[in-house]
Every structure is written in structure tokens, then in C-alpha cells.
């Protein structure tokens, strides 16, 4: 039994930087109905501000083509699809966090591609044409959406250029060149549009340092720094359908955030915002950890503390409508999504809704709980019991004392754990149907809901004492609200007159 005494005299600001941005499969998928259904659900229940994904300039979005006119090759810009995509985003109350990449085939210097959907990852064959393309795209955005709107969109140059599969040879100098040309193009449309990079994956700290020094040395504009963070190790098993990986502890990810923040602090641009433009446990879209309650329990601490170090961190991704490793092959397949196929929310989806219920005043926090006060004086807390070991016997008991200026309170608790809010587990009971029929989908939607329990409690001397038992990998939201009891206003009320009630 761990005892926690919450104090309410020195609240700290709880920064909801986890809510700033969320990741998405390649932009071309945003044309799909199922994708938009999932995004609508996510926006209704969570409400991210920005969305970031690959493939803006890839062939399927169709922006860049070349046409021969009178023997001359000319660029041809087609915004049919990207307009439809961004219209959809704005209609759903979310803005693009623009990633400028990958390379249109017609502009590519080579054939190297990444993913099932073949994003070309080679440098432009002609930097002038690339510059023109960026100017055309950004100008079109300004024309269609207005400069006020576009000034709110960050533009990030490329994705993970420090990996050979995302940028030919992971050539740092070539990336700097790309960055410089791109930033100039963006700024040529309007000097206040924000541009940044280097969007690297993982721990290559020298990329951060070199990048900022390069910008300083060459007087290249940079408005923010970005990188990614995953805590899975190399796959220890890898098959046609699955990657299995071990995970580092969540502290490891927080340490990554912190380290890079310090690098920036010591750089020529110490005040730059720092965005984690991707994070998750595993970096593989076919790692079943993403479907589990373990994933929710793991991410909990990141949501709780990540905002201390970074200006945003963007969960990769909101939906299993995703094609990096081919068309999804089953209802559950280890996809990144908060929402699984057929609009079934996963445990991590509810983790985000739980954090969404927290207030801005942080009263208490440790590595397994965060307690906040909301504007209306009510209390909301999220607790979790991350267990990265096999076995069943990991129950944890907390006793929490909270000062609260009400006599009677209504306590509502929502829980996701192995037995509740766990559609993956029920799907396994069903025999893992790859393409479940409507009835099975209906059941999975039902069991995806968190368990809700409620009770009425009394405080003593303005202190509420809560006993909270957490099962293995449980994530729980507890809300405490004052009761304004109106029972006395019912004329002649007496439940004991109802058969079988007292």
C-alpha cells in the first residue's frame, strides 16, 4: 500500500503538449472514408491541434508532374487531392504540421524508395525545380487558406534523413543542402512562415548539433527543431506479419527528450521550440504491442512528464488506416493507431481521453500517477501500473489523500486493463478473425469501452481518502466532483415504498 498525500497549495501548470500534434499514415490515405471516420472520432474525444504525416509530395497525392510543351519539359502542379485533404483536416478542426517530402518520381535523382507505397527518398535531380515546387505548394496554400492560417502551420523539411532507408546514404551534407534550399523557398512566400528540421530518428545527437551549427554558419532560417523517439530495440523476431521487439523503460524516452532540449539550449539557437514529431513504443507498424493495454500503461508516463521537456510530442499514429507494411492484413495486426480498423478504439486511445480530462493545475505527480485540479474545482487524476514482466501477480494499491473543500463528492472511475476496454483480448477469444463480420465488430466496439464505476463518498475535515487498486497494466481515470444534493426537494420521496428497495 503506497500512501500519497496530495497538497493543493502550490499547484503547478500541467502542460498538455501531448495534445499539440498527432501522426498519420501517408497523406494520400486521408482521401479514404475510414481514415476520416477515425479522425472524426479522435477529434471528438481528444481534439489534437495538428496532424503530421509523410507523402505530401509523393506521386499518389499527385502534386508534381512534368509535361512536355513545344519540346520543353515544364512542371505541372496539381492540387486536386491535397486541397481535398486539407479541407477535410480543417473541417475536423485539425491543422497540418506539414512535412515536406518525399520526392516526386519526376523530380527524383534515383529509384530508391521506402515502404510498401514506395516513397522516393532520393535528393532532387534539380534543386531549382525543387525550389519552384516548394514555392508553388506553399503559395497555393496561402492562396487557398489565407496567410493568417498558413502562418500557423509549421513546415518540417523531410523525414529521418539520418536513416539510409529514408534519405539516400543518410547523407548529412546533402540534407543540409536540401534544408537550405527548402527553407529559402518557404520564406520566399512569407518570411514569417515557420520552417524547421532535421526530423531525425532516434539518438543521433551530432545531427542536431551539426544542423544548428550549419544554420548558424550559413545564416539559414530555422524556427524549430524536430526529432523522433521510440523506445523499442532491434527486432528480436521478425516475420511476414510481425515484428517483435523489447522495450526500454519509459524513462529512456523522457531522457531522450531532455538530452536534446539541453543540446538546443547550448546551441546558437537556445530558444528554439523543440518538437518530437513522432514517438511511440515500437517503430514498427506490425508490432502487436500497439494493440495492448501495456502500450497504454507505458505511454501514460510520457504524457504525464513529456511536456516538461518538449514543446510537443506527436503520437505516431491516430489510426490503423496505414500502409507502410502493405495493406493491413487483419483486424488487429500491431498497427500504430489509436483506433483500429472498423473504428475500434484501442486502450491507448482511452489513455489519451483520460489525460484529456485532466485539469491545468497539477497538484501531485510521481511515476505512476498525476493528480490535477480543473477550473471548476473538481479533481481529476490518472494512475497506471506499468508492468513489463510476464505473469499475473502485479496488483498495486494506492491510498490517496486529497484536500477538497466539499463534504459530499461523486467519484467516477474509468478503467482500461487486461479485462476491460481490451478489444484485442476479446478478439483473441474469438479466434482472431482477420475480417470480422458486422456482429463481431459490434461486440469488439462494445468491449472496447472502459469499465465505468461510480460511488458517492464523504470527505473528512475536507480530506478525501481514496483507495485505488490497480491491476497489471491498468490505466485509470478518477474524477471527483462535488455533489449538490437535491434529494430533499422531491416531495414525498421514499424509495422504501418501492418493492424490493430500501
98: Cβ–Cβ under 8 A, 6 or more apart, which residues?
A: 52, 56, 153, 154, 155, 156
For residue 375, indicate whether it is catalytic: no
Among 353, 238, 338, smallest CA distance to 295 is for 338
C-alpha cell of 441? 465488430
Integer Cα distance of 19 and 160 in angstroms: 22
434: Cβ–Cβ under 8 A, 6 or more apart, which residues?
A: 329, 330, 331
Buried b (16+ CB within 10 A) or exposed e, 116-151: ebebbbbbbeebebbbbbbebbbbbbbeebeeeebe
Alpha helices, DSSP H, located in 421-496:
423-429, 438-448
Q: Return the half-sphere exposure (C-beta side, CA atoms, 13 A cut-off) of residue 106.
A: 18
Which residue from 21, 57, 272, 289 is in contact with a copy of itself, where contact means CB under 8 A? 289
Integer Cα distance of 237 and 374 in angstroms: 45
Site string for a copy of itself, 394-413 (x = CB under 8 A): --------------x-x-x-
Q: Is 486 in the site for a copy of itself (CB under 8 A)?
A: yes
Give the nearest distance from C-beta 386 to a copy of itself in angstroms.
9
Say whether 94 sits in a helix, a strand or coil: coil
Integer Cα distance of 469 and 89 in angstroms: 40
| CB neighbour class for 323 (10 Å; exposed up to 12, middle 13-18, buried from 19) | middle
Q: Is 125 in the site for a copy of itself (CB under 8 A)?
A: no
Give the nearest distance from C-beta 330 to a copy of itself in angstroms.
7
- In order of 99, 153, 313, 374, the CA distances from 86 in angstroms are 13, 12, 21, 33
Among 432, 301, 448, 421, smallest CA distance to 367 is for 301
- Return the axis-axis angle of helices 127-145 and 80-91, rounded to nearest 10°: 40
Q: Is 294 in the site for a copy of itself (CB under 8 A)?
A: yes
Residue number with CB closer to a copy of itself (1 or 491): 491
Site residues for a copy of itself, 319-338, by CB under 8 A, read 326-330
Integer Cα distance of 100 and 133 in angstroms: 10
Which residue from 5, 152, 434, 458 is in contact with a copy of itself, where contact means CB under 8 A? 434
Residue number with CB closer to a copy of itself (234 or 327): 327
Residue number with CB closer to a copy of itself (267 or 331): 331
Residue number with CB closer to a copy of itself (76 or 151): 76
Site residues for a copy of itself, 32-61, by CB under 8 A, read 32-34, 36, 61
Site residues for a copy of itself, 194-253, by CB under 8 A, read 236-237, 239-242, 244, 246-247
Instruction: Please tell me the count of residues contacting a copy of itself according to CB under 8 A.
Output: 89
Q: Is 173 in the site for a copy of itself (CB under 8 A)?
A: no
Q: Which of 68, 143, 149, 160 is catalytic?
A: 160
Residue number with CB closer to a copy of itself (2 or 236): 236
Give the nearest distance from C-beta 12 to a copy of itself in angstroms.
25
Sole window of 124-132, 186-194, 307-315, 383-391 interacting with a copy of itself (rule: CB under 8 A): 383-391
Give the nearest distance from C-beta 84 to a copy of itself in angstroms.
6
Which residue from 108, 199, 341, 464 is in contact with a copy of itself, where contact means CB under 8 A? 341
Q: Is 449 in the site for a copy of itself (CB under 8 A)?
A: yes
Q: Is 92 in the site for a copy of itself (CB under 8 A)?
A: no
Q: Is 485 in the site for a copy of itself (CB under 8 A)?
A: yes
On whether the CB atoms of residues 116 and 29 are closer than 8 A, the answer is no
Sole window of 11-19, 270-278, 358-366, 439-447 interacting with a copy of itself (rule: CB under 8 A): 439-447
Q: Is 139 in the site for a copy of itself (CB under 8 A)?
A: no
Give the nearest distance from C-beta 209 to a copy of itself in angstroms.
33
Give the nearest distance from C-beta 293 to a copy of itself in angstroms.
10
Q: Is 164 in the site for a copy of itself (CB under 8 A)?
A: no
Q: Which residues are catalytic?
A: 160
Amino acid at each position: 500500500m503506497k500512501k500519497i498525500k496530495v497538497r493543493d497549495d502550490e499547484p503547478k501548470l500541467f502542460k498538455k503538449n501531448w495534445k499539440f500534434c498527432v501522426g498519420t499514415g501517408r497523406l494520400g490515405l486521408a482521401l479514404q472514408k475510414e481514415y476520416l471516420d477515425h479522425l472524426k472520432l479522435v477529434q471528438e474525444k481528444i481534439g489534437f491541434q495538428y496532424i503530421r504525416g509523410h507523402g505530401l509530395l509523393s506521386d499518389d497525392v499527385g502534386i508534381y508532374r512534368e509535361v512536355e510543351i513545344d519540346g520543353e519539359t515544364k512542371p505541372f502542379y496539381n492540387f486536386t487531392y491535397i486541397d481535398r485533404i486539407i479541407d477535410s483536416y480543417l473541417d475536423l478542426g485539425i491543422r497540418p504540421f506539414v512535412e515536406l517530402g518525399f520526392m516526386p518520381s519526376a523530380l527524383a535523382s534515383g529509384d530508391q524508395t521506402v515502404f510498401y507505397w514506395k516513397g522516393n527518398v532520393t535528393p532532387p535531380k534539380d534543386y531549382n525545380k525543387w525550389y519552384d515546387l516548394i514555392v508553388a505548394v506553399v503559395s497555393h496554400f496561402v492562396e487557398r487558406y489565407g496567410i493568417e492560417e498558413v502562418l500557423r502551420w509549421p513546415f518540417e523539411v523531410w523525414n529521418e534523413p539520418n536513416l539510409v532507408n529514408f534519405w539516400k546514404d543518410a547523407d548529412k551534407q546533402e540534407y543540409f543542402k536540401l534544408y537550405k534550399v527548402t527553407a529559402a523557398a518557404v520564406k520566399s512566400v512569407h518570411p514569417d512562415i515557420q520552417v524547421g528540421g532535421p526530423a531525425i530518428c532516434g539518438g543521433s545527437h551530432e545531427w542536431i548539433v551539426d544542423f544548428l551549427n550549419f544554420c548558424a554558419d550559413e545564416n539559414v532560417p530555422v524556427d524549430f527543431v524536430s526529432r523522433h523517439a521510440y523506445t523499442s530495440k532491434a527486432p528480436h523476431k521478425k516475420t511476414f506479419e510481425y515484428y517483435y521487439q523489447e522495450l526500454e523503460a519509459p524513462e529512456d524516452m523522457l531522457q531522450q527528450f531532455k538530452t536534446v532540449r539541453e543540446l538546443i539550449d547550448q546551441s546558437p539557437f537556445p530558444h528554439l521550440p523543440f518538437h518530437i514529431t513522432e514517438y511511440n513504443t515500437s517503430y514498427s507498424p506490425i508490432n502487436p504491442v500497439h494493440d495492448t493495454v501495456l502500450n497504454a500503461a507505458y505511454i501514460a508516463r510520457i504524457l504525464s512528464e513529456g511536456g516538461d521537456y518538449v514543446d510537443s510530442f506527436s503520437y505516431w499514429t491516430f489510426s490503423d488506416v496505414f500502409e507502410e507494411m502493405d495493406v493491413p492484413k487483419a483486424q488487429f495486426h500491431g498497427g500504430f493507431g489509436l483506433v483500429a480498423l472498423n473504428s475500434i478504439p484501442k486502450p491507448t486511445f482511452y489513455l489519451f481521453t483520460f489525460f484529456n480530462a485532466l485539469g491545468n493545475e497539477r497538484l501531485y505527480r510521481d511515476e505512476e500517477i498525476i493528480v490535477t485540479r480543473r477550473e471548476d474545482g473538481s479533481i481529476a487524476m490518472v494512475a497506471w501500473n506499468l508492468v513489463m514482466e510476464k505473469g499475473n501477480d502485479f496488483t498495486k494499491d494506492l491510498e490517496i489523500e486529497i484536500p477538497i473543500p466539499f463534504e459530499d463528492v461523486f467519484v467516477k472511475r474509468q478503467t482500461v486493463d487486461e479485462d476491460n476496454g481490451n478489444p484485442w483480448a476479446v478478439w483473441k477469444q474469438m479466434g482472431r478473425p482477420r475480417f470480422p463480420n458486422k456482429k463481431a465488430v459490434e461486440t469488439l466496439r462494445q468491449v472496447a469501452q472502459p469499465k465505468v464505476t461510480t460511488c458517492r463518498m464523504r470527505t473528512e475535515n475536507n480530506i478525501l481518502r481514496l483507495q485505488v487498486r490497480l491491476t497489471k497494466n491498468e490505466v485509470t481515470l478518477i474524477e471527483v466532483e462535488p455533489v449538490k444534493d437535491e434529494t430533499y426537494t422531491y416531495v414525498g420521496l421514499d424509495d422504501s415504498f418501492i418493492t424490493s428497495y430500501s
